[in-house]
Every structure is written in structure tokens, then in C-alpha cells.
Amino acid sequence: MASSAFQPLLRTAGRTAGRKVRGFLLYVVRNPALYLMLLPGLFFLLVYKFAPLYGILMAFKDYDIFAGKNPIDAIGLSPWVGLKHFEKLFASPQFLKVLTNTLVINGLKIAVLFPIPIVCAILLNEIRNRFFRRFLQTSIYIPYFFSWVIVFGIFYALLGSYGIVNDGLKALGLGTVRFFTDTHVFRGVLVFTEGWKEIGYSTVIYLAAITGIDTTLYEAARVDGANKPRQILHITMPGLLPTIVLMLILKVGYILDTGFEQVLVFYNPAVYDVSDIIQTYVYRLGMGQMNFSLSTALGLFNSVVAFVLIVGANTVSKKLLHRSIW
């Protein structure tokens, strides 16, 4: 046999593999505690992260939740329909609308809000009065810890039809603005409240990055007669650049995954046209209309594109910054 020439080679390979397995088993036997420790986490992964992957089959079937003993059993027993749900989905005007809304809302948020925390961090770093600096930082940071429902409650009191802002507009003779139901302003409300809640958090990240800049650079610049604007331009900004790029990559990478809870809490049927995003539509299709298969198909589309974007973002980050996102 021709293969006999390879026999010794194969045997060596087999022996190495065998040794590897034996080495691994020996290690496990010697360190059982380390492996036992992993079990609670792996159990969680299996139940909540990997078991749902089986549920993706719903997208390729006409899922009937009562077809089996339980909802998961029913997945196996429901009839296959191939790509029917995807064809239906991609042909529906609703699909284009929610995709556009997702990109427009999250794109607006990046365009309008991204630079603000950078400016905040740089300016905060210039405030020498420690008490005042602490007060500023605290007050800007605190909304980050409020839930979206609380933020909604606060802005409802401000912007509702009897809210203080509309009282002011009326007093100025400008009439009232229906912030939560007017399709022309609702996206603005989403962008503004996103900024209100999140700017403090990003500011702290940039502040931490500024703290990492070598202080001798500033001293040298001062000796050379560079004033504050020049120091900011030539020392702080270059020092911040890797963090800025990383944050931008992350924001673009997660463009399909953000804003869900905010929109879910803030929106209502009057503004579905301008604010219904992929995930809120997935939710309503599934839990509202009980159209589980179509909903899963849209969810799968979202997951796949999000996966490509995030892995892409990580590749860019590794190339540009030699740093992995995870």
C-alpha cells in the first residue's frame, strides 16, 4: 500500500496527539477545582446563550408554538418552509423603514453627540478648583445611572403637553410642541435624551485617557511658551486620539445594537414611522402579533449583520490600534 510509507509519520502524529490528550487529562485530574469553577458560567452559557441558537430554526419554519410538548419541542415539529419568511420580510416596506430608522437614529446620535464628551473631558481637565471640578463631574455623570424609564419620566415632566418647556413656549407666544408625538421632533428627543444620559460616562473614559498622558510633556511645552490652546492641540489631542478612534469604532460597530430600551420606553404608535427600529419591530412582531417566525427571521438578519459589523470593528481596531475590543 502506498500509505505504508506514511505509517511511521502517522504513528508519531498519533503519539503526539495521544500525549497531548493525556497531558490535558493529567492537568484536569491535578486541578479539578479550576474546572469545577467553570461549571456555573458554562451552565449559563448553555442555557441562555447557546440554547436559543437552536430557536433560530423558527425563522426557516412555520412555527406553531403549540405543536409540541413545550415551545422548544414545537420548533422541531413545525414544518420547514425554507426562506419564505425572509422573502416576505425583504419585500415588505416595513423592513426598509425599520432599517432606515435604526441607521438614521443611531447615525444622528454619533454625528451630534460623539464630539461632546471629548470637549467635556479636555475642559474638565482645565478646571483647577477641585471642589467645583468634582461638582461638575458628578452632576454630568449621574444621569448615566438612571434607567431609561426614569429618564422618560423626567423628560415627560419637562416636555409633556403640560410640561414646563411648553408652558415657556406658550408664554413666548410660540404655541406648543408635541415632543412625544410629532414625527418631526421625536428623533431630536431621542438624540437629546441619549446625550443627557450618556455624555458623562464617555467623559470619564476620556478623562482617564488624559490622566494617562505624560505630564512632563506639558511642562516642556510650558517652558517652550506654548499656551493652553496649543497644549491641547499638540499634546492632549494626540494623546487622546487612540481612545477617540476606539470609541468611534465601537460606536459604529454597535450601531445595530444600541438604543433599543430607550426607543421601547419613549416611543408610541404616533411616532412609529420615524422611531421604530429593528429591535422594537422584532419585539412587536413576536410578542405583539405572535408572528414568531417572521420576528425570528428579522432578529437573525439583525444578529448576522451586527456580528459582521462587530467583528469588522474589532479587525479595524486590531489593525489601527493593535488592540482587541474584547
Partner 1 sequence: MARRASIARHPRTGISSGAGDRVVKLLAYGFLSLLSLLAVLPCLHVISKAVSAGNLVTAGLIYFWPRGIQFNTVEFVLTQTPFFTALKNSLIITGLGTAISLFTTITTAYPLSKPSFKGRRLVVLLYVVSMVFFGGIIPAYMVIRTLGLIDSVWACILPFTIVQFNMFIMKTYFESLPESVEESAKIDGAGDVRTLAAIVLPMSKPVVATIGLLYAITYWNNYFHVMMYTNSPGMRTMQLYLYDIINNGQAFAENLFSGWDTQGNAISPHVTVNGIVAAAVTMSLVPIIAAYPFIQRYMIQGITVGSVKG
Please give the residues from 153 up to 172 whose contact with partner 1 meets the rule CB under 8 A. 153-158, 162, 164, 167
Binder to partner 1 among 13, 17, 42, 96 (CB under 8 A)? 42
Question: Within 13 A of 123's CA, how many CA atoms are on the CB side?
Answer: 9
Residue the block writes with cell 436559543: 52
Which range, of 5-13, 77-85, 119-127, 183-191, touches partner 1 by CB under 8 A? 119-127
Q: Using the rule CB under 8 A, is 140 a contact of partner 1?
A: yes
What kind and span of H or E run contains 188? helix 186-211
Binder to partner 1 among 14, 145, 238, 273 (CB under 8 A)? 145
Looking at the Cβ atoms of 10 and 320, the one nearer to partner 1 is: 320
Tell me what percent of the chain is helix, strand and coil, each rounded to the nearest 5.
80, 0, 20
Smallest separation, CB 66 to partner 1 (Å): 12
- The rounded distance, in Å, linking the Cα atoms of 162 and 160 is 5
List binders of partner 1 among 204-263 (CB under 8 A).
204-205, 208-209, 211, 222-230, 232, 243, 260-261
Smallest separation, CB 3 to partner 1 (Å): 32
C-alpha cell read off for 23: 497531558
Q: How far apart are the first and last CA of the chain?
A: 50
Q: Using the rule CB under 8 A, is 112 a contact of partner 1?
A: no
Instruction: Decide if 107 contacts 255 (C-beta within 8 A).
Output: yes
Instruction: Decide if 252 contacts 309 (C-beta within 8 A).
Output: yes
Binder to partner 1 among 105, 199, 249, 274 (CB under 8 A)? 199
Looking at the Cβ atoms of 271 and 299, the one nearer to partner 1 is: 299
Binder to partner 1 among 12, 16, 19, 27 (CB under 8 A)? 27
> How many other CB atoms sit within 10 Å of the CB of residue 198?
18
